A and B are shown apart, each in its own frame.
Chain A
């Protein structure tokens, strides 16, 4: 009898606990990118979308950018028609937080190639996807359904050599989706620094 209100309360009270589920529609969001333009996930229907949580102060993220592997994967994916969204959920005053100018400087310094660099300082999108680490990766099918979530690769270290030599799970998931197959693995344990949320 109290089940429905209890459920509603539980859903409202614990946004972090509501983790997205593969095979279900990925939660929609609208965010502002580094150039101040709004980007809405629903508008990208028809394309495979990659979400990459990033924080330039995190050693795990650094290993992927300093080794050049992250940029290479971004270019490879975009070459296949994929939309790549780098998302920064670092709260104001916390490690890795950037504003639009900071994000543009970061992209230039890394020679990075995301389709958009989304600013999520209030952590809204991060909480929506229960993004836990940087990097934390999600791959969304052209029909808007979540296909992969978890680690970027199979080597949970902050070592550049590992980033280069690892099996790129997230990129493999993108290729599987493009080939109309289900990624394997489809759920892995994300590794890295914790996302620096507010509060």
Chain B
């Protein structure tokens, strides 16, 4: 009786305990042991897997866990005579940065697999129980918990028939493993940078990629990886670890594709020659926007519109007005007007496209530059300062230059003729770069991720927009006739137009001071003074009808000397913009931003630069409004400033990620995790109405 009771109890309990042993529900992870067959055949390999399913908000780790964490460890307890299985194979991991530390993780169910050799000679029907002790670390953003479970799966030796429920899961697990790469990858060190080149097909579909090294001392895990296409290679560049790698470097390459699920490749790279940085990935845009990338036509339209608006910017308008006056002289024939308009357009388009081409080339060479990057060099600012001062003095009537001694495009412009028009265009385009306006940023940002030819066409579109008003004046006689008749008022207007030009010079001098300190600014101003004095002398000799070679040479020499003497080193670091201190802004770092967003704190982030006039207008205007500071404080919005006055790789990387070629950029991150890009012309009302 008692024996029957025990048997009944055992029958009742048996399936329950067997089930409980293959699956274990831990506080933060569900773990299950699975096998491809419940009746494995003797003498054959049996696919087995351990599935870890972290709860929402938790993650388990890849075999190289990254900066912190730990890999999963197993201790197999197999029937006698069964050899120890190979190490676990891990599926392709993901990246998770917490407080500036990189974690290589799985945030969803993941199956670690291996194969067990079922010994030959086992009789069919004999028991073949699998048992394994699993130890793993499961972490949230706040804490880590080591968990463990002893799992077992009672199998019986048989014919090896696949299990209908478990075999497909193991097949899916096998598909999630990184695939061995047929081609040989290569790595090299360039200074403190680690460069990996992976030959690969279908590079035009690659959206992004990340290299996970198996070893510890290969790369610094958290450094952003710059991925480019160099010929047939996917080229990845990042910071090398210290000490750097030696010999063969193994790891997994995760590749996000434009069309389809991410791919994973197991690679072993040998040290060798790697190509120089190539072109940006074709489609790094977000593919979740339904319509995908904005079409090239739309981007071009934005570029043309942006160029058109540039015409009224304070650094461009006076030059253009002069050209208009030249046409308004009234003695210009229809054919001549058309020729000048075309020459002017050619000058603008050429300079804009050339600047764009230089940006693309430098980016391809691995340099993180953006539009107006040349303004990060104080020598360019010094050159612009003198140039603008010269233009302003010319407008003010201090001197005229005939074509024979002309070395300033603007003065060539005044001399009339096609070559004059060409140089006016070139000058307008060059001086326009600090004035990034509405519509431009989006178009230029898109251009940087387009293939080279299309990108250049976007830059050309910008130039076309800038040239459009004159193209119209040149080709539509009706418009030309509407220009006011020439007269004495022209001299006065010219003098008035020198005022915005002098103001531009003042702004440039201030930028110079920000960049290289008060000494650099003094050199720039001394150069401007000397340049101005020589131009004055030149003007005086002009009136006297004397040779202009001497003062012309002297002013040119001053220009060269001022640029050459300009220090390029930054002054002692530190220092915030005025807006930053008023709004109590913190310095932008990717880690700080990620941290605030994790804590669900609202953040107003702006990217600025001293040479960006639009930025300064916003900072002196809307952002300086006391109501804004009050509203931000009341709503607990943290203000974060990224200053791109000098090149900063972290900001360049952020801009690239947001498909922006330059500053300003204003983004609001709300507490709910949403991200809104604000317009480039801010108003105090807009800022105070942001919802925490």
Contacts and interface: CB of A to CB of B under 8 A. Distances in A.
Given A2-B376, A2-B377, A189-B216, A8 B68 contact: no
B568 A199 contact: no
A8 B143 CA distance: 35
Contacts of B217: 187, 189
Q: Contact size class for B?
A: 35 or more
B144 A193 contact: yes
A131 to B, nearest CB: 10
Nearest to B137: A158
Contacts of A8: 570, 573, 646
B98 interface: yes
A132 interface: yes
Given A58-B144, A95-B142, A197-B595, A6 B101 contact: no
Contacts of A15: 589
B648 A16 contact: no
A156 to B, nearest CB: 6
Interface in B591-646: 591-592, 594-596, 599, 646
Given A58-B144, A199-B591, A157 B647 contact: no
A134 to B, nearest CB: 9
Contact of A10 (B68, B98, B649): B649
Contacts of B65: 191
Contacts of B311: none
Contact of A19 (B242, B568, B647): B242
Contacts of B98: 194
B135 interface: yes
Indicate the member of A8, A10, A159, A190 with the most B CB atoms within 10 Å.
A8
B379 interface: yes
Contact of B647 (A9, A187, A188): A9
A187 B246 CA distance: 14
Contacts of B67: 132-133, 194
B2 to A, nearest CB: 41
Interface string A62-101: 0000000000000000000000000000000011000000
Given A59-B144, A194-B103, A196-B142, A17 B239 contact: yes
Given A1-B379, A189-B216, A94 B568 contact: no
Contacts of A12: 573
A110 B70 CA distance: 25
Contacts of B99: 194-199
Contact of A193 (B139, B243, B515, B596): B139
B646 A5 contact: yes
A4 interface: yes
Contacts of B68: 132-133, 190-195
Nearest to B220: A17
A12 B589 CA distance: 10
A94 B202 CA distance: 45
Contacts of B145: 59
Contacts of B69: 191, 193-194
Interface string A126-138: 0100001100000
B222 interface: yes
Contacts of B216: 188-189
A190 B69 CA distance: 9
A135 to B, nearest CB: 11
A1 B646 CA distance: 12
Interface in B436-487: none
A102 to B, nearest CB: 17
B519 interface: no
A10 B139 CA distance: 31
A4 B379 CA distance: 14
Interface in B62-118: 65, 67-70, 73, 98-101, 103
A13 interface: yes
B568 A198 contact: no
A9 B589 contact: no
A58 B144 CA distance: 7
B596 A199 contact: yes
A9 B650 CA distance: 9
Interface in B29-75: 65, 67-70, 73
A108 interface: no
Contacts of A196: 99, 142
A13 B646 contact: no
A94 B649 contact: no
A21 interface: yes
Nearest to A186: B243
A9 B594 contact: no
A27 interface: no
Given A19-B242, A194-B99, A5 B569 contact: yes
B676 interface: no
A188 B243 CA distance: 11
B129 interface: no
Contacts of A179: none
22 contacts: A1-B377, A2-B377, A5-B376, A5-B515, A14-B589, A14-B649, A16-B222, A16-B591, A19-B220, A95-B142, A156-B70, A157-B73, A189-B216, A190-B68, A191-B69, A194-B68, A194-B69, A194-B99, A197-B99, A197-B101, A199-B594, A199-B596
Interface of A: 1-2, 4-6, 8-10, 12-17, 19, 21, 57-60, 94-95, 127, 132-133, 156-159, 187-199
Interface of B: 65, 67-70, 73, 98-101, 103, 135, 137, 139, 142-146, 216-217, 220, 222-223, 239, 242-243, 376-377, 379, 515, 568-570, 573, 589, 591-592, 594-596, 599, 646-651
Ordered nearest first, which 5 A-B pairs have the shortest CB separation?
Answer: A199-B595, A194-B68, A189-B216, A197-B99, A5-B646
Given A14-B649, A157-B73, A192-B144, 6 more contacts: A9-B648, A17-B222, A191-B69, A194-B69, A197-B99, A199-B99
